[in-house]
Structure 1
């Protein structure tokens, strides 16, 4: 393996590997913040929206042949939720003059935490959104993600919300950043 991390835009042939990273990330990195029931329910709230890959707005960071982390941004109205989540997604395009780009589906492989992967992906997403004309970005943060987003300049936009899955409430915080 190489000593350096590299980044690139995700491809459709990455989907299977991305799903594995996400599953591991949800299962292991949420445990310090959520109950076991909330972690299990999170798998139905979070996940990869393959539209991001098709749009060319989803990045991954690799360490050799391994995906160390992934995340993307979107010009669509959907704030969060993946292909298999219970959350309704909205494919409408957001006008950069009046709306915010969305930071979406951020995950770090548990073997690569605390190595700048999340910050790197956020920077890639923000730069791409800014280049597309957006002056503001927003996201829906998990409890485990809030410290990272705050350290990157994101502020709460709304009160704590809860996605309800099979009677279990999963806490989420909508956050935003203005460029």
Structure 2
């Protein structure tokens, strides 16, 4: 069987990718959440989402390229933080125990010009394989409403809905989801 996505290439993110990744994330938040949140919800999402440079430093963050363009990004973590960027409140860099904790799938974004091309699945597969190789038997994530359909299609189940409250008081809806590896 041949890969229907031969033009897509997965690699680890590098520090020099950070400006392009931040721009991709901003565009994805601004455009892809519009069908799921009102304008004030999309605006509030920037406060709780974004680039977590710890993932790049840890070597657990991937990019998918379509030719020279970054089509998407996402990663996994062996750290306790469930979601958020460098600027987000509530981060916890404590290391998780693979014997008792679930690894985290983190910061999944697809460029709006590259949706429905398999980018998210490529990243999820890489995250799950890497977490499994480090001894984790399950993964969890905080999913946006825009990501939930993909994650359910990839075998993730809802653990609990919750809200991230921003400094303006807006409550961004999220769902904690998980999957056994």
- TM-score, normalised relative to structure 2: 0.95
Give runs of aligned pairs for residues 53-68 of structure 1, distance below 5 A. Answer: 53-68=56-71
1:23 aligns with 2:26: yes
Distance of 1:98 and 1:136 partners within structure 2: 9
Q: Deviating runs (4+, > 2 A) in structure 1?
A: none
- What is the SS of the residue equivalent to 2:90? coil
Aligned length: 175
Cα deviation digits, residues 2-60 of structure 1 (max 9, x gap): x7111100011110000000000000000000000000000001111100000000000
Give the RMSD, CA atoms, in angstroms: 0.8
Structure 1: any 5+ residue segments left out of the alignment?
none
Q: What's the CA shift for 1:149? A: 0.4
1:14 aligns with 2:21: no
Structure 2: any 5+ residue segments left out of the alignment?
1-5
- What is the SS of the residue equivalent to 2:48? coil
- TM-score, normalised relative to structure 1: 0.96
Distance of 2:98 and 2:73 partners within structure 1: 24
- What is the SS of the residue equivalent to 2:163? strand
Distance of 2:51 and 2:179 partners within structure 1: 22
Cα deviation digits, residues 118-176 of structure 1 (max 9, x gap): 01100000000000000000000000000000000000112x21111112111000000
1:92 aligns with 2:94: yes
